[in-house]
Amino acid sequence: MGTDSEDERSESSKKRAGAERHESREDERRFPHVPESSDDDDAVMVPEASGGASRSRENTDHAREGAIRTDGGSGSGDASSGDSCSPNTCTCGEKTGADAESETPQVATDGAGVANVDEMGELGDLEFTEPAENVSQDVDNGSPDARVGIPDGVDLETPEYSIRSQMNDIETPDEKTWFMELDEAVIDEGRCIQCGTCVAACPSDSIGIGDDGEPELVKMCTGCSMCWDFCPRGGLRYERQWKITGGDDNVKGAGDPITEFSAKVEDDWTDNAQDGGVVTGVLATLLEEGEIDGALVATESEEEEWKAESYLATTTEDLIENAGTVYNQTMALGNLDLDQWEHKLPDKSWDELSIAIVGTPCEIEGIRALQDFEWDYQAQNEGIRAVDYTIALMCTKNFNYHSLMGEQLEEQRGISPSEIGKMDVLNGKMMVYDHDGEMIVEEDIENFHDAALKGCDECADFTGFCSDITVGSVGSSDEYSSVIIRTEQGMKAWELTEPNLDYHDLEDKSAVGKLQGWDKKKAFESLERPFDPDAPRFIEYTDHAENYGTALNPHDQGH
C-alpha cells in the first residue's frame, strides 16, 4: 500500500510539472481562466468560458488579474487534502459534470468570461432568448416614490414622484388659467372660431393645430393664462378691443370710417377674384411699392379641394393665383411662425420684415390685441410684430370645412368640391357656381346653419372694426367691392392703390348698416355674458364660467 501511495505521488508530481508547462504556454496566449464559484449567495453569477460551473464576481476579479494557479488545485480546493474529482464524480462537494450540463448557464453581466468564447479562445455564435410577446415589464413595487432597477451604490440624484402626489392634493387658484380651461369652455363646447390667436399668444409654444383644424396642446401647459386672455370667444372682450382701436362709434354704429367706396380693379385676372378684386389689388400695390415683403392670405389645399390653408404670398403672381374667397378658417394667427416661410423670404432679417394679413374680423381683433402688449410670443413673435397692414373681410359667419363641403354640399346636394368654381355669401344667400360660371346652388344661408362655426353666432363684428381696411360685397353692385378705410395706415394703402382702381361712392351704405345691425342682434341673443365695451378688456375665467356654466379647474375633476 505504501509503495502504491508513493507511486501515485510521483505520478502526480509528473502531472503537475506537465500542467505547469502547459499553463505557462496558456498564460502567454492569455486565454480567460475562470475559477469555480464561491459560496457567496449574494455574488452575481456568470458562466465559465469552458461551460463549467458558475463563478462569482469576486473570483472573476481574480481571473482578470491573470493569476494562473500552479498548485494543481481549482477554486478553494486544497490538493494536499487528498480530495480529487473526475468529470462525473466529486469528493470536494462541488457539482458533477452531469449536474452542470443539466443547468442552463447564466448570462455574463460584467463583461468577463464572454459566453461565446470556448476554452481555446475561439468565438462562437451568440444565442438570444426570444422576447415574450404581449408581456410588459413588471415595475410595480407598490410605491410610486421608489425607483426600479437601480444598481447598488448608484445615486441618480433625481426627484421622487412624491411631489406629484402632493400637488394632486393642492387646489389650483382660480386666477391661474390653463389651456385646459380654454379647451373646456371654448373648444369642447364647439365655440372655437379657428382664428389661431391662442397659438400665437402662447409664450411656451405649447399649443399647436390639430388635424381637425382646432387648437390642441402639444407640450406641457405652464398656466400663464395668455391663451385664455386673448381668445375672442374666451377671455378677450372683443367689444372693448373695438373701442380701443376705433372709438365709441365702433360700438354704436357701423364704425367710424375715414372714407368708403365701391371699387374694382380693371385687369384680366379679376375673373377669378372675389367681386372687384380689391384685396388682391391693394396687396399687389403694397408689394410693388416695397411697403410689404409678403401677405398672409388663404390658399386652397393641394390635398383637399376648397379647403383653406394659410399662405405667405411674396409676389404678384402668388396673389393672383390665390385670389378669391374660401369659406373656412385657416387658423391664420397660428401660422405667423415665420420660420415656416423662411424659404420665401431669403436674406431678410426678421426685425426688418413687414407683412400684411387678410382675415376675418375675429382674426384681426386677435392680432390687434396681441400687438398692444410687449410680450415674447416665442415662435410667433416676429410674425406678430411684422404685421403692418390688416385687411378684414366682411363676415357674418364661417364654416367647418368637412361639414360644409362634405355633408351639406356633397352628401345632401350631390355637388362634389371638384365641380365648384366659385362660392359667395350675399344677401343672405349661399351661392355656388361651377367652373363655367353657372349657378348650381342658391339657398338661404340658414339652410347651412349646421355647418357654421357655433362661435360665429356670438360675434357682433360684421365689418371688422379693428382693421385698417374692410372689404366685402354688401353695399355694392356685382363686380364691385365695398371698401371701408378705417385708419391712417389704411388710407396710405388706398392712396397707393387708387390709380389702379375704378371706384365711386359706396352705393348702399344702409345695406352695410342693416347687416351690421342684424349681426349685432344675433350676437346679443347668443352671448351668455354681458356685452360691455367699457368693462376691462380681459374676462376672468371664473366670471365666464359663472355665465356659461363651465367647470372651474376642470383638470382637478379628471378632465
Q: In this structure, how many other beta carbons lie within 10 angstroms of the beta carbon of residue 390?
A: 25
For 35-44, 108-117, 327-336, 448-457, which range has the lowest pLDDT when averaged over its residues?
35-44
The pLDDT, as a whole number, for residue 492 is: 97
Average of per-residue pLDDT across 241-249: 79
The pLDDT, as a whole number, for residue 502 is: 94
Q: Where are the alpha helices (DSSP H) in 117-192?
A: 162-168, 179-182
The pLDDT, as a whole number, for residue 47 is: 45
Average of per-residue pLDDT across 425-441: 88
pLDDT band at residue 117, thresholds of 50, 70 and 90?
confident
The pLDDT, as a whole number, for residue 194 is: 95
Top pLDDT among 111 and 412 is at 412
pLDDT tens track for 9-62:
445 554 555 555 545 444 444 444 444 544 554 444 444 444 444 444 344 444
CA separation for the pair 206, 184 (Å, rounded): 17
pLDDT band at residue 326, thresholds of 50, 70 and 90?
confident
Q: Is the pLDDT of residue 3 over 80?
A: no
pLDDT tens track for 262-278:
999 987 665 556 667 89
For the chain, what is the mean pLDDT? 78
Which CA distances in Å does 56 have to 48, 106, 506?
Answer: 10, 12, 96
pLDDT tens track for 330-385:
999 999 999 999 999 887 788 889 999 999 999 999 999 999 998 899 999 999 99
pTM: 0.69
The pLDDT, as a whole number, for residue 551 is: 83
For 44-48, 302-306, 309-313, which range has the lowest pLDDT when averaged over its residues?
44-48
pLDDT tens track for 511-524:
998 989 989 999 99
The pLDDT, as a whole number, for residue 123 is: 77
Cell numbers 402688449 correspond to 373
The pLDDT, as a whole number, for residue 82 is: 47
Which CA distances in Å does 277 have to 260, 321, 327?
Answer: 16, 12, 17
Q: In this structure, how many other beta carbons lie within 10 angstroms of the beta carbon of residue 67?
A: 11
Q: Is the pLDDT of residue 79 over 60?
A: no
CA separation for the pair 18, 21 (Å, rounded): 5
Closest CA to 475 of 465, 462, 486: 462
The pLDDT, as a whole number, for residue 140 is: 53
Query: Strand 207-209 relative to strand 439-444: parallel, antiparallel, unpaired?
Result: unpaired
pLDDT tens track for 186-236:
999 999 999 999 999 999 999 999 888 899 999 999 889 999 999 999 999
Q: Is the pLDDT of residue 489 over 70?
A: yes
The pLDDT, as a whole number, for residue 209 is: 92
Closest CA to 462 of 536, 394, 380: 394
DSSP code per residue over 382-451 = HHHHHEEEEEEEP-S--B-HIIIIIIIIIIHH---GGGEEEEEEETTEEEEEETTS-EEEEEEGGGGGGG
Give strand pairing partners of 501.
265
Average of per-residue pLDDT across 98-105: 49
Which CA distances in Å does 314 have to 267, 282, 297, 322, 343?
Answer: 20, 13, 10, 12, 11
177 burial via Cβ count (<10 Å: 0-12, 13-18, 19+): buried
CA separation for the pair 483, 463 (Å, rounded): 10
Q: In this structure, how many other beta carbons lie within 10 angstroms of the beta carbon of residue 389?
A: 23
Rg of the chain's alpha carbons, rounded to an integer? 40
The pLDDT, as a whole number, for residue 137 is: 55
The pLDDT, as a whole number, for residue 281 is: 94
CA separation for the pair 384, 355 (Å, rounded): 9
Closest CA to 412 of 391, 430, 393, 386: 430
pLDDT band at residue 81, thresholds of 50, 70 and 90?
very low
What percentage of the chain exceeds 90 in pLDDT?
A: 48
CA angle 521, 523, 527 (to 5 degrees): 130
The pLDDT, as a whole number, for residue 159 is: 54
CA torsion sign, 258 to 260 to 265 to 269?
positive
Q: Is the pLDDT of residue 284 over 60?
A: yes
Residue 450: how many CA atoms within 13 Å on its side-chain side? 9
44 burial via Cβ count (<10 Å: 0-12, 13-18, 19+): middle
- Spatial contact of 533 and 322, defined as CB atoms under 8 Å apart: no
The pLDDT, as a whole number, for residue 203 is: 94
